[in-house]
Each structure stands twice: as structure tokens, then as C-alpha cells.
Amino acid sequence: MQKRFLIVCSVSLLLALAGCGGNTDTGIPPASTGGAGNAPTGPVAPPATASVAGKIMFEGTPPPPTKIQMAADPYCAKNSKDPVTEDVKVTDGGLENVIVYVSSPVNAAFPTPTQTVEIDQSGCHYAPHAFTIMVGQPLKIKNSDETLHNIHAFAETNPQFNVGQPVKGMVNETKFDKAEMPLPFKCDVHKWMSSFAGVFTHPYHTVSKAGGAYEIKLAPGTYEITAWHEKFPPQKQTIEVKDGGKADLNFTFKAAGPAAD
């Protein structure tokens, strides 16, 4: 009986891995070594001696978060207390997880950051829910749960990948060789799990934090700033920042806004 149980468990694990890409080692394609894709090749960028900062405000009553049903995975049900969706997260009147970035052309070359960006699968959620990264910057994908997850990148400009991580502490690493905004991640095993990345050729980007606060360090100049959220149409504003100056720039998303494509 015990032998039969072990065989059934082994077959189930193999089937689950096949559904998640079936590769637990180096299944994520590395970035191209033939160049930096659409990275700018202009003059070296001047120092970022200015900044733009503000708040992503939310007008109206936020939609109540949807309770997530995790009964299909006993580990998730046990280790996620009162789990709810994170697609519209409002605290102190500010909208979190908004990707804020310079969307006007930046005709300058920037060094590729060596600091690793991490996305973790913890408590049967992706953490963070939204993040930004530069072309060529290392991305570490980690599973901190004692259950099977997978990381499925629904990229359109960069290569797609779908890799299973059945073991706690498992890590895969990759880089992106082209700019892409947004780049969604999902878990095919746990349908409620999602995350969004912005991949850029410049460092002028961030994600709004608790209370909707954000700040971007910039070189002096005039820029178009875009605020993007998964559920609302993106917003754009133009602003000028001077050497050593700090410009204030707020965005407002409304509860009645239509869902973004």
C-alpha cells in the first residue's frame, strides 16, 4: 500500500511539473549576448541631480478586495491568512503598485545595474505584485513555499518562459534584453497569483508604495511621465526638473474608470 502511494505521488508531481513547463533547472532562457536589444546608444547620461515625486491618489470608494479560495491547495489554505486579491490596493487614499516611469525618449546610455531584483513566491502570492527592472539587470525568481509554483512570463517583446519550482528555496535567474511595458507574470498552478514588471532601458522608473507615494531621481530636463496600473487606463503628464530641484507631480485614478486592456 505504501509503495502504491509513493508511485501515485510521483506521477502526480511529474504531471504537475509538465503543466508548469517541466523544467526545474535552467528552463528560463538567458538574455541574448548579442547586444542590449533596444537599449539607447547615445551619449552618457548626466548625473541624476533632480527628482520628481508625488502621490498616486485614488478618488472614490475602492472596490472591495476579492477573497481568494485556496482550498484546492492545503498548503496555501493553511499558510495564507484571509487571502485577498491585490489588484486594487488603496491605503490612506493612495493607490499602490502603480508603475511610474519616464515614457518620453531618453537619448542617453546608462550603465547596466548589477544589483539583483527579486520576485518571490511566498504565502502563495508573488512578492512584489509590481516591480521595475532595467534591460540586462539580473532577476532572481524564488520559491519560498513548500508547494509547487511556476513562473510563467507572458512576454511579447522578450522570450516567454514557463518554469516549475516544486521545491522550497528553489531559485532561477534570468535577464531581459529588450524593454517591455508591461510584462505580466502568472502561476498556472494557482490562478490567483499574478505580478507585473516594467523593463526599461533607463533608470527613470519606480512603483508607488504604501499611501501611493513615489519618487524618481532624474537628470535635469523635460520629461513625459506615465503612471500605469493593471486595472485603469494609463495617465501621462509632462514636467520639467532643474538641476538640484524637486518637482511635485500627482496622479489621480478614479473608482469609476474602465478596466485597462
pLDDT tens, N- to C-terminus, the chain (261 residues): 433 433 334 334 433 444 443 343 445 655 443 333 455 567 888 899 999 999 999 999 998 889 999 999 999 999 988 899 999 999 999 999 999 999 999 989 999 999 999 999 999 999 999 999 999 999 999 999 999 999 999 999 999 999 999 999 999 999 999 999 999 999 999 999 999 999 999 999 999 999 999 999 999 999 999 999 999 999 999 999 999 999 999 999 998 644 444
> Nearest Cα to 110, choosing from 182, 32, 46?
46
pTM of the predicted structure, to 2 decimals: 0.84
Q: Which residues of 60-96 are buried (b: 16+ CB within 10 A; e: fewer)?
A: eeeeeeeebebeebeebeebbeebebbbbbbeeebbb
Structural domains present in the chain: 2-254 (2.60.40.420)
- pLDDT score recorded for residue 19: 41
- pLDDT, residue 28, reads 65
CA angle 174, 14, 195 (to 5 degrees): 40
Predicted local distance difference test score (pLDDT) of residue 255: 87
